[in-house]
A and B are shown apart, each in its own frame.
Chain A
Amino acid sequence: MTTMTVDSNTSPQSSQEATQPVADISSNGLDSSRDYRQTVGKIEVANTKMSMRDVNVSYGDKQAVFGVDLDIAKNEVIAMIGPSGCGKSTFLRCMNRMNDTIEGCVVSGSLKLDDQDIYDPKLDVVPLRARVGMVFQKPNPFPKSIYDNVAYGPQIHGLANSKVELDEIVENSLRKAGLWNEAKDRLDQPGTGLSGGQQQRLCIARTIAVSPEVILMDEPCSALDPIATARIEELIDELSANFTIAIVTHSMQQAARVSHRTAYFHLGYLVEIGDTDDIFTNPKHRLTEDYITGRFG
């Protein structure tokens, strides 16, 4: 059996997952007749926004993601769940090439955004990341004012032609992120002075200020309390009207609440994909069932 662990030295960003070794699945007495290396469920969707085929990711000589095929539809919320170290965050970070910053990380396969190859060597990552934004696990506002946090993206991309326009973008983004009422009187105060949940909403506002087409969320609520989490989940629901959202989460309730489709990852393989309702009520694969019923993971 392969016991897959991501080398924490080569990938500091996914260290959270790497620190916990993955249980050897043979000890769980699982159904071996159905191999988890084959994805169960329909990966194709109508109205495709992003399309991934045979994606393999390795950090040095440790492979983290094995041959994952997945499509993401326009304006859908797709949740990726699975035990720690299953490669879901790594896979997510491929979608806007954030893995480029990790030394020794090699990605192969085809990843397409509107039929454009993301890993085309000629592709510039700067506009790609403007189209595919990202919200991280730990709220990471810049140590600048709330206004500057949101205005930074539009500024570097030149989205606003005047101060008035920029003010408008900032206000709209903060409104969409549900932070406007709390922040409008303290726009000039540091973003780091906000509470954890507010900081995460600020990060979401910062991301949507550049009007991306896809928003990747890497466990956005894992550092937040239940009330702040509920607020973010509501927000995800509202945002799905305008954006395509891929969210990695450890909380199955969260996946069930916010997503349209759910993908279950195991040891670097995509085990099952399907409508969220189906996955949680009628999982096809034994591993998925065990995971969502809390028998392991």
Chain B
Amino acid sequence: MSRSTIDIVNRNLAKRYAKEKRFRLFGLVSILAGLAALCFLMVTIVSTGWGAFTQSYIQLTLDLDPEVLSISDPQDDDQWSYANYTGVIKKSLRERFPDVTSRRDKKRLYRIVSPGAGYQVNQLMQDRSLLGQTVTVWLPADDDVDSVIKGHIDRSLPENERRVSDKKLSLIDELVNSGQLKRKFNNIFFTAGDSSEPEQAGIKGAMLGSFFTLIVALLLSFPIGVAAAIYLEEFAPKNAWTDFIEVNINNLAAVPSIVFGLLGLAVFLNWFGLPRSVPLVGGIVLTLMTLPTIIISSRVALKSVPPSIREAALGLGASKMQTIFDHVLPLALPGMLTGGIIGMAQALGETAPLLMIGMVAFIVDIPGSFTDPATVLPVQIFLWSDSPERAFVERTSGAIMVLLMFLILMNSIAVLLRKRFERRW
């Protein structure tokens, strides 16, 4: 009897192991496919976006002549704000290239420096004692020049098919040879708001917009979500009503986010009359969107606390409130935080609902509060990806990289929290 049993077992053994092997292989193949797709995405983004972190700068010697700046009275603040900062740059360029004489060529010459470079000179001259002195500064080059330096423009093409003329190329080469045109770390990308000039455009405005929006979303959604979860899980009677609520919460988690945007537009902007394009409203809309996620994950976290802990506390004569807040909640909190962070990461990457409430506007100023018009990182990416300039393409990818960094950071914190507070009982 035992003889035949072992024979049957042995006969089937190979089949059983083969099955296991096949399953492992499938798993491995799907993981590899996923990794390959991820690698492809990262390589594309990083290879295009890498350039955004450097920018070509031109070294110029500026003569901060009050006459050129048209500042006759240094005490007059108006004169300082309306001073001709670009004039100083133009003068310096003319002096650097004395053989450029024709009006047309001069115009071309001026275009090698960013049209917004006057702003940098303005910033520099916040120190008013510089008036009348001569300074050597690095000013951002125009995006076409930048593209030449980064090798995005094919010099072998005939001149009329190229964005940059031969004349301009020779100017660029001369500056490179004299060491006055260099690629440097792109400060502007991290310290400026949006701009129509790619070399002057940065993500600081969008980052702060995202920051303010997320703060609002976090402050609203986490307490409300956790409170709702505690009530539903611990206090609410289990009846048709709570079932109905549960179904609806699960449903809300799957509603397309644009619908929340429309709701925000209808309720918060049109009815409550809150201002357009501000992080406050963005945060409220994202709260609506992330609440279901937080409620669901918090309920799961509460459910996972073993009933023996509740019994122990109740058996000692703790009230329901004491049982929940002294014992259940501390054990459920890591799970709740993880859910909250994942919800926030979701909110950070959300675009659609914010389009509806006007956070898609072109905003140059860096927001300083919850009610300043602002945009957010993913919307900034959306805006830039629409721009035709080569320099915006790399800035788009650069901004994606920054966004991904934040997402990775947040998700890592979620994993760390879970690991750190994981308890066995």
Contact = CB atoms under 8 A, between A and B. Distances in A.
Genuine A/B complex: yes
Given A138-B308, A142-B327, A207 B316 contact: yes
Interface residues of B, number: 22
Interface of A: prevailing SS: helix
B317 A127 contact: yes
A140 B308 contact: yes
B309 A140 contact: yes
Contacts of B306: 140
**A-B interface, 4 closest residue pairs, ranked by CB to CB distance from nearest:** A140-B308, A129-B317, A130-B317, A134-B315
Given A126-B317, A142-B327, A210-B317, A101 B311 contact: yes
A136 B318 contact: no
Interface string B297-327: 0000000001111111111111100100011
A156 interface: yes
A143 B326 CA distance: 11
A133 interface: yes
A123 interface: no
Given A143-B309, A207-B315, 15 more contacts: A13-B311, A98-B314, A101-B311, A126-B317, A127-B317, A136-B308, A136-B312, A140-B306, A140-B308, A142-B309, A152-B313, A156-B318, A156-B319, A192-B424, A192-B425
B311 A153 contact: no
A202 B213 CA distance: 49
Contact of A157 (B310, B311, B315, B317): B317
Interface of B: 238, 306-319, 322, 326-327, 331, 423-425
A203 B331 CA distance: 19
B315 A12 contact: no
Counting chain A residues whose Cβ lies within 8 A of the other chain, the interface size class is 20 to 34
A210 B307 contact: no
A140 B331 CA distance: 14
A103 interface: yes
Interface of A: 12-13, 96, 98, 101, 103, 125-130, 133-134, 136, 138, 140-143, 152-153, 156-157, 192, 203, 206-207, 210
A142 B319 CA distance: 16
A15 to B, nearest CB: 11
A142 B312 contact: yes
A248 to B, nearest CB: 14
A122 to B, nearest CB: 16
Contact of A96 (B315, B326, B424): B315
B425 A143 contact: yes
Given A153-B317, A156-B317, A143 B423 contact: yes
B418 to A, nearest CB: 16
A13 B307 contact: yes
B311 A136 contact: yes
Contacts of B313: 142, 152
